[in-house]
Amino acid sequence: MSTRELVESIYEQVRTRNAGEPEFHQAAAEVFDSLHVVLDRHPHYAEAGLIERLCEPERQIIFRVPWTDDRGAVHVNRGFRVQYNSVLGPYKGGLRFHPTVNLGIVKFLGFEQIFKNALTGLPIGGGKGGSDFDPKGRSEAEVMRFCQSFMTELHSHIGEHTDVPAGDIGVGGREIGFLFGQYKRLTNRYESGVLTGKGTGWGGSQVRREATGYGAAYFVNDMLQTHNRSLDGTRVVVSGSGNVAIYAIEKIQQLGGLVVACSDSSGYIVDSKGIDLEVLKDIKQVQRGRVSEYVDAHSHASFTADGSIWDVPCDVALPSATENELDDKAATALVKNGVNVVAEGANMPTTPAAIKVLREACVAFAPGKAANAGGVATSALEMQQNASRDSWAFQYTDDRLADIMGKIHSRAVETAEEFGMPGDYVHGANISGFITVADAMIAQGVI
């Protein structure tokens, strides 16, 4: 059997035994697409069921999350934690609270997280969790009761040396606070390292909140630098307006870039003078409102409810909202308007067909597992600070983040070159992450 046939047959097994999980199949297919070149050179990675083991989570926990709303009605949500792979360290990855969350979504995110975490070079395994709970429109008291109920089950499966959750879509500093409080109450332990993304006054790291967005901006700057360019003076579109998008915009602006558009599920705004971040932060972080309100403060800006943010001409695009938000039609529009760089701030926001369009047009494309690894990398820095009961200054932590992103960039570039695919960040990141995990799996035996 050729390596290509072998990889295809394992992929078929993965599809059949994980039926009805298209996002997981998509994430697996993307990694599998890079594997045959590795196996051609290093066939031992296919031995001892290594790839099959890598695709099967070490443990999957699904649980009931009952909670009572402000009117006294009882709701039942479903909670998940998929502990995917722990060869490099305790399971590490966020919790997502969003109505679209199901096992397939959590598995796709957990699978990606294994390689992303490996790429950071830090001692963290891969995991992910969440719930189909929709925080939108819920009061603070309802969110708190939900978080407490969620942690009542989760607490027996996590720990600073076991599994360290953090935030993702719908889970930010507020939710991490409620989750941490309940964990402490249930265990009677002040175990700072059990969750990351904590408040900076009680064990959280400086820069963690900003890290995913800042990291993506550093990564893009590194990509541009390989072509003797930088973000300075570059026109950028960032989709989304959550935690990743807001801090990507902030760092891009600090590096001299002009971010002209961003979005939320209601539509997108364009401000050709550059997004006013103070106004955007107030709308999204303080008022928890919609981006459409931006035009109330800036009448020269425009809001579009129906349409695609990817029709806005730009040099650099950062899809930073959610999975599969940038399809082949959007990619074609970006290419037509002369895009040079696309980097994923979100997890798997670009469809396989869109990646194909970008590849054919020679657009530099960075996958999320490399470009958005700054968030989880800074979580690992938070764990380091917790373990040593220390807290680092903002600038020091930001410098560490920039350094880590630079190393991830070089790893992806060098690996792509080594395997004969120069400039291909997808193969570079997949292969480099895979080899790190696979070597540790081989060393630790059949487990």
- Give catalytic residue positions: 128
Nearer to ligand GLU, 57 or 235 (CB): 57
Nearest residue to 159 via CA among 176, 184, 178:
184
CB count, 10 Å around CB of 1?
Answer: 9
Tokens of 441: 């799996």
| Of 130, 112, 161, 16, residue with least CA distance to 62 | 130
Of residues 96 and 235, the one with the C-beta less far from ligand GLU: 96
Residue 379 interacting with ligand GLU (CB under 6 A): yes
Q: Is 347 in the site for ligand GLU (CB under 6 A)?
A: yes
Closest CA to 368 of 355, 353, 350: 350
Contact region for ligand GLU (CB under 6 A) — 44-52, 87-95, 262-270, 335-343? 87-95
Please report whether residue 170 would count as binding ligand GLU according to CB under 6 A: no
Q: Which helix (H) or strand (E) holds 235?
A: strand 235-238
Q: What is the 3-state secondary structure (H, E, C) of 291-339?
A: HHHHHHHCCCCEEECCCCHHHCCCCEEECCCCCCCECHHHHHHHHHCCC
77, 148, 196, 385: which one binds ligand GLU (CB under 6 A):
196
Cα 342 from Cα 223, distance rounded (Å): 10
Q: Shortest gap between Cβ of 377 and ligand GLU (angstroms)?
A: 8
Distance from the first to the final alpha carbon of the chain: 26
11 vs 129, beta carbon nearer ligand GLU: 129
| Among the residue ranges 24-32, 45-53, 91-99, 401-409, the one whose residues contact ligand GLU (CB under 6 A) | 91-99
Among the residue ranges 133-141, 300-308, 374-382, 393-401, the one whose residues contact ligand GLU (CB under 6 A): 374-382
Residue 229 CB, shortest distance to ligand GLU, in Å, is 27
Interface with ligand GLU (CB under 6 A), residue from 242, 257, 319, 375: 375
CA 210 from chain center: how many Å? 13
Of 209 and 427, CB closest to ligand GLU: 209
Binding status of residue 92 toward ligand GLU by CB under 6 A: yes
User: Helices (DSSP H) in 361-424: which residue ranges?
Assistant: 368-371, 374-387, 394-418
At its nearest, how many Å lie between ligand GLU and the CB of residue 301? 30
Q: Determine contact, residues 379/400, Cβ cutoff 8 Å.
A: no
Cα 303 to Cα 108: distance, rounded to the nearest angstrom: 33
Q: Decide whether 249 or 339 has the Cβ nearer to ligand GLU.
A: 249
Closest distance of CB 335 from ligand GLU, Å: 27
Smallest distance, ligand GLU to C-beta of residue 347, A: 5
Residue 30 CB, nearest approach to ligand GLU (Å) = 15
Q: How far is the CB of 439 from ligand GLU (least distance, A)?
A: 22
Q: Residue 89 interacts with ligand GLU (CB under 6 A)?
A: no
168 secondary structure, DSSP code? B
**Contact region for ligand GLU (CB under 6 A) — 86-94, 312-320, 359-367, 384-392?**
86-94
Q: List strand residue ranges (DSSP E) for 52-173, in order.
A: 59-68, 74-85, 91-97, 126-131, 163-166
Cβ-count burial 40-57 (b if 16+ within 10 Å, e if not):
eeeeebbeeebbeebbeb
- Binding-site size, ligand GLU (CB under 6 A): 10
Task: Work out which of 93, 170, 177, 242 binds ligand GLU, going by CB under 6 A.
Answer: 93
Q: Which residues contact 297 (CB under 8 A, 6 or more apart)?
A: 276, 279
Q: Which is nearer to ligand GLU, 326 or 376 (CB)?
A: 376
The amino acid sitting at 429 is: A
Q: Work out how close the CB of 379 gets to ligand GLU at its nearest, in angstroms, rounded to a whole number.
A: 3
**Interface with ligand GLU, residue 397, by CB under 6 A:** no
Contact at 8 Å (CB) between 125 and 85?
A: yes
Q: For residues 168 and 315, which CB has a smaller minimum distance to ligand GLU in the complex? A: 168
In the complex with ligand GLU, the residue whose CB is nearer, 37 or 119, is: 119
∠ CA(255), CA(426), CA(30), 5° rounding?
Answer: 135
From residue 176, alpha-carbon distances to 170, 365, 410 in Å are: 11, 32, 33
User: Which residues form the interface with ligand GLU (CB under 6 A)?
Assistant: 92-94, 166, 168, 196, 347, 375-376, 379
